[in-house]
Amino acid sequence: MYDTLTTSYTFACPVHGETHVRLSRFRRLEQLPGAQHPAVFRVEFDCGCGGAHPGLVSHDDLDWAPLGLDDDRTFVNLMTSRTDLLRVELGDVAATRIKAGEWPWSFFCFPEERPRPVTPSSFRLLAPAADGDHVGLAVRCPVCSRVSVNLVSRAHVDVPFVNDREVGVVEHLFAEDVAATADEFHAELWSGSFDARRLGLE
């Protein structure tokens, strides 16, 4: 489902049969109702074929697989010449960085006026910016539950522990449910009214 080495998800595509997309190509994420363990998210993504398709992603695949914690593949450890599990190595790296105060993902919560750590299951809507390098990102804050819209680089979304030093923030209070937010999201995003905020989490 998720490939740690290419940081991409595999989905079905009616044209290509199968396609690999990075998180920044997701357009909408919605948790399916009901108490599944783990929870399942319905996503929509922009496909390389030019279309947009739906897909299903488990909570684990969204939040933990990018950190390599689900990866059953092995690699030859050049330090020890032993064959090690990728997930143990990547898990160690992730744990060390989190302990050092680095977060895999972060965003700027506009209602709280502060940066917050976050995981992709809190992302709700994404839209590509005109420059091709950035995406508008609507995040439901895990702490205050309100929605903020940030303008961030693709790498900020796609690569764990790569955080923009500064992000664009839309100074607007959004509705909490995704359906109501979607129209506001696109309207605010293209109005270009972003304010720069620093993302240091210390």
Kindly indicate which of the ranges 3-11, 20-28, 43-51, 177-185 contains the residues binding Zn ion, using the contact rule CB under 5 A: 43-51
Please tell me the distance from the alpha carbon of residue 81 to that of residue 111, in angstroms, as a whole number: 51
What phi, psi does 43 have (nearest 5°)? -125, 160
Determine if 109 is a binding residue for Zn ion (CB under 5 A).
Answer: yes
Determine if 112 is a binding residue for Zn ion (CB under 5 A).
Answer: yes
Indicate if the alpha-carbon torsion angle 28, 29, 31, 37 is positive or negative: positive
Burial of 8 (0-12, 13-18, 19+ CB in 10 A): middle
Please tell me the distance from the alpha carbon of residue 46 to that of residue 127, in angstroms, as a whole number: 10
Minimum gap (Å) between residue 189 Cβ and Zn ion: 19
Determine if 166 is a binding residue for Zn ion (CB under 5 A).
Answer: no
Binding test (CB under 5 A) with Zn ion, winner from 47, 94, 139, 170? 47
Determine if 176 is a binding residue for Zn ion (CB under 5 A).
Answer: no
Q: What is the size of the binding site for Zn ion (CB under 5 A)? A: 10
Determine if 201 is a binding residue for Zn ion (CB under 5 A).
Answer: no
Nearest to residue 71, comparing CAs of 98, 92, 54? 92
Length of the chain: 202
CA 166, distance to chain mean position in Å, is 17
Binding test (CB under 5 A) with Zn ion, winner from 13, 43, 152, 189? 13
Kindly indicate which of the ranges 22-30, 49-57, 117-125, 179-187 contains the residues binding Zn ion, using the contact rule CB under 5 A: 49-57
Binding test (CB under 5 A) with Zn ion, winner from 12, 15, 56, 196? 15
**Contact footprint for Zn ion (CB under 5 A):** 13, 15, 47, 49, 51, 109, 112, 141, 143-144
